[in-house]
Structure 1
Amino acid sequence: MTAHSELRLLPWSGPDGKPCYLSTDDNNSHLSRLADTTEGIQLDLATDLVTRALEVLNDEKTAPEALRNLSADLVGALRDTLRVATSRGQRLTAPQLSTQGGDGTPLLSTSAFG
């Protein structure tokens, strides 16, 4: 195993509201798996909320209170989703570029696509 030099942003905040990070070289550790599961739950909840939001917004009789509650829920889901995207984006490896063709244009190597 190679030493892990990056911190993983976890999908929850500490008691003071500050971000929590994990430093490990074991992506299968208990805390890594818990973070993966929590991220999945957060994304599933956001998906369900989008469906609910569309229903509420399509109902012309929706009360202002319901719209305020929906807005608060959407902000929370967006915050969680952005944290997941940030965390996952930080863990992506940078694709290696290769120069191909006569014009020297940098192209992604085929290994960048799995």
Structure 2
Amino acid sequence: MNDGARPARLLPWTDSEGKPCYLLTDGDGPLSRIADVIETTQLDMAEDLLEHAADLLAEARPTPEQLRFLLARMCEALTDVHRIPENRGTR
């Protein structure tokens, strides 16, 4: 998406209906900086989740509830981090 002169930045969040949000910017405004912080936070959280998954899977018998919770959080994290390279590829 772009407005002819500037490409639109895909933001690291969606609207209330789950649709992607875009920003027309030169990349240096306050909303761009907030988006950068959120992307970094999402990547850090995904890394923490991977460490938690390794610890949980190293246990002899994780419960089905633990595994279900882990899988749900990993799906959320994967959705978030998948958007980041898509966004950066358009910039």
- TM-score, normalization by structure 2: 0.91
Structure 2 residue aligned with 1:12? 13
1:1-114 equivalences under 5 Å are: 4-25=5-26, 27-91=27-91
Contact in 2 for aligned 1:10/1:87 (Cα 8 Å):
yes
* Superposition RMSD in Å: 1.2
Residues 50-92 of structure 1: CA deviation (Å, up to 9, x unaligned): 000001111122100000000000000000000111101111x
Gaps in structure 2 of 5+ consecutive residues: none
* C-alpha distance in structure 2 between counterparts of 1:75 and 1:60, whole Å: 23
Q: SS of the residue aligned with 1:35?
A: helix
How many equivalent pairs are there? 88
Greater helix fraction, Structure 1 or Structure 2: 2
* C-alpha distance in structure 2 between counterparts of 1:71 and 1:52, whole Å: 11
Post-superposition, which runs of at least 4 consecutive aligned residues in structure 1 deviate over 3 A? Answer: none
* C-alpha distance in structure 1 between counterparts of 2:5 and 2:52, whole Å: 40
Cα distance, 1:20 vs structure 2: 0.2
* C-alpha distance in structure 2 between counterparts of 1:62 and 1:56, whole Å: 6
**Higher gyration radius (CA):** 1
* C-alpha distance in structure 2 between counterparts of 1:89 and 1:65, whole Å: 37
Cα distance, 1:4 vs structure 2: 4.6
- TM-score, normalization by structure 1: 0.74
